[in-house]
């Protein structure tokens, strides 16, 4: 077998085992539901439920006993203005039940976070000086606070982010201070920076009409107009140059004696001797990309080789996990997310994580988890009922599952590491076997066994099979991305599996259980 074929097989194994981990988690839902909400009908005939109101597909449905409100709403189709606040989504429907979905005055949306100034990447030495003059520890991802000064040295460069779409590249021997960060001024959220020296490339895109971005220099004030602008500011002794690659800027002398609108393709030279602005057209070599090419290459290499791969598993209706493959530390983190996790701080018209899924699927859930954990979460995977059967059957079972004494007696197996078929896995993960606490422990045992199989390369699958599995899974992970991630994964030895529960405060709100995330603890959970 060629090296290329072996690599493809390893990639396939990585993809399928990762999907199986989430599928196993989803399978738990169908086992937990009869214990928490036992069927009291005494019959196994289908139930009839009628759903009316503000849904995409109102009508009468015939469903098996144990079907939850979540599943009915998912089939009926939730609109952005559907009012599902009165439904306890994990509760099963009853026979001949009628469900009425109301209408909210405004659609469900993400609440916009104020802009934050962060260090994305830097080359060589970067200093961040607090207002009290003390140097702060510098790391990628750190937040720049109001009053901090960012200083690059002779051979260093740095990139800061202002929002999801706005970035600032700082050249060597430059200093930039954060005067105001998303400060409310006259009904607008103003971010104001003071550029004391050097060359800085600003790529500013406004996310809302209330945004305002300003830069002050010793000679000139610059305000970004319209929807944003792409421009550079270079400070030399007695002269400041402002060059607009795209967009429009308001350029004003600090003394207020002169002001112009600078549009795309124009550059203005501002002198300290008060001579009039000198406006010229940008030359062919004015693009700053070459100046910052080493920074761009360094950042790309860093993100490709060292940035964690973060994703969310949605095992509908009630199983949600956050996973993080951390290449730098050789650890795989799995965080259990309660379906009743409150998202009210981040979403308008939406209360819990399972509601969020109904409104926007895995993409909406990943956006909310990103804010709860303060980590980038761009990928998601959604598991439906048939996925576990198809994936587990393709793998032919899971090796080295640590079967405890109670489960071994029930299943007529020996205690200790065992290979479990998909049918045996279903039995092993029944909470009715010996209680919920044992069930939770067995869940982690299965996930660890899957992770160990995938990291030790004990199973070989074809790349074609992996592509077929991905094609039937709701995910935004492509086969090419899976190949890239596996390439990085295979370079790291001695992987560790680490499990976590989301730090929450359990409580009741509106007569139902709510898990309020403890945000300070959530944001430092994986540090």
Distance CA 302, CA 137 (A): 19
36: confidence class by pLDDT, cuts 50, 70, 90: very low
- Token pair 């945004």 is at which residue? 211
Residues 123-177 pLDDT 10s: 888 999 999 999 999 988 889 999 999 999 988 999 999 876 789 999 999 999 9
Domain boundaries, the chain: 117-292
Domain 117-292 listed as CATH 1.10.10.10: no
40: confidence class by pLDDT, cuts 50, 70, 90: very low
Least confident of 109-123, 193-207, 401-415: 109-123
Sorted by sequence, the CB contacts under 8 Å of residue 135 that are 6+ apart come out as 127, 128, 129
pTM confidence score: 0.65
Distance CA 102, CA 84 (A): 7
Say what the pLDDT of residue 31 is.
Answer: 38
Say what the pLDDT of residue 53 is.
Answer: 94
H or E segment and range at residue 220 = strand 220-236
For 263-286, b where at least 16 C-beta lie within 10 A, e where not — what string?
eeebbbbbeeeeeebeeeeeeeee
H or E segment and range at residue 394 = helix 387-395
Return the C-alpha torsion angle 373, 377, 381, 382, nearest 10.
50
Residue 430, CB-side half-sphere exposure with 13 Å CA sphere = 15
């Amino acid at each position: 077998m060629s090296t290329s074929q072996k690599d493809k097989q390893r990639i396939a194994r990585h993809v399928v085992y990762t999907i199986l981990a989430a599928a196993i988690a989803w399978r738990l839902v169908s086992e937990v539901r009869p214990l928490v909400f036992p069927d009291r009908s005494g019959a196994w005939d289908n139930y009839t439920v009628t759903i009316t109101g503000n849904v995409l597909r109102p009508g009468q449905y015939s469903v098996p006993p144990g079907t939850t409100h979540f599943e009915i709403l998912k089939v009926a189709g939730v609109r952005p203005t559907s009012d599902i606040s009165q439904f306890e989504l994990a509760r099963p429907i009853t026979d001949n039940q009628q469900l009425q979905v109301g209408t909210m005055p405004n659609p469900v949306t993400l609440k916009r976070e104020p802009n934050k100034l962060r260090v994305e990447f830097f080359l060589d030495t970067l200093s961040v000086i607090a207002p009290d003059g003390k140097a702060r520890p510098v790391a990628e991802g750190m937040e720049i606070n109001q009053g901090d000064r960012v200083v690059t040295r002779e051979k260093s460069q740095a990139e800061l982010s202002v929002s999801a779409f706005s970035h600032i590249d700082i050249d060597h021997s430059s200093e930039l201070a954060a005067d105001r960060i998303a400060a409310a001024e006259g009904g607008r959220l103003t971010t104001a920076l003071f550029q004391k020296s050097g060359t800085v490339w600003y790529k500013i895109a406004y996310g809302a009409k209330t945004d305002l971005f300003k830069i002050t220099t010793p000679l000139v004030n610059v305000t970004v107009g319209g929807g944003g602008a792409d421009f550079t500011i270079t400070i030399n002794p007695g002269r400041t140059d402002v060059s607009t690659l795209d967009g429009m800027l308001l350029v004003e002398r600090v003394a207020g004696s002169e002001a112009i609108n600078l549009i795309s393709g124009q550059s203005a030279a501002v002198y300290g001797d008060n001579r009039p602005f000198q406006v010229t057209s940008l030359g062919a070599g004015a693009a700053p990309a070459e100046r910052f090419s080493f920074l761009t290459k360094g950042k790309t290499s860093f993100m490709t080789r060292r940035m964690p791969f973060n994703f969310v598993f949605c095992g509908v209706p009630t199983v949600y996990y956050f996973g993080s493959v951390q290449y730098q530390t050789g650890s795989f983190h799995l965080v259990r997310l309660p379906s009743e996790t409150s998202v009210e701080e981040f979403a308008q018209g939406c209360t819990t994580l399972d509601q969020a899924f109904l409104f926007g699927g895995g993409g909406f859930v990943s956006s909310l988890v990103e804010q709860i954990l303060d980590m980038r979460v761009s990928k998601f995977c959604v598991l439906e009922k048939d996925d576990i059967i198809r994936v587990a059957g393709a793998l032919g079972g899971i090796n080295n599952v640590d079967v405890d004494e109670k489960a071994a007696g029930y299943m007529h197996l020996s205690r200790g590491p065992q290979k479990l078929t998909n049918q045996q896995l279903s039995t092993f993960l029944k909470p009715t076997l010996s209680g919920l606490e044992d069930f939770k422990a067995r869940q982690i045992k299965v996930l660890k066994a899957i992770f160990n199989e995938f990291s030790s390369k004990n199973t070989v699958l074809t790349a074609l099979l992996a592509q077929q599995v991905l094609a039937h899974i709701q995910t935004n992970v492509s086969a090419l991305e899976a190949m890239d991630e596996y390439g990085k994964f295979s370079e790291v030895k001695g992987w560790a599996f680490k499990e976590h529960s989301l730090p929450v405060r359990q409580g009741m709100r509106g007569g139902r259980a709510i898990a309020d995330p403890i945000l300070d603890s959530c944001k430092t959970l994986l540090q």
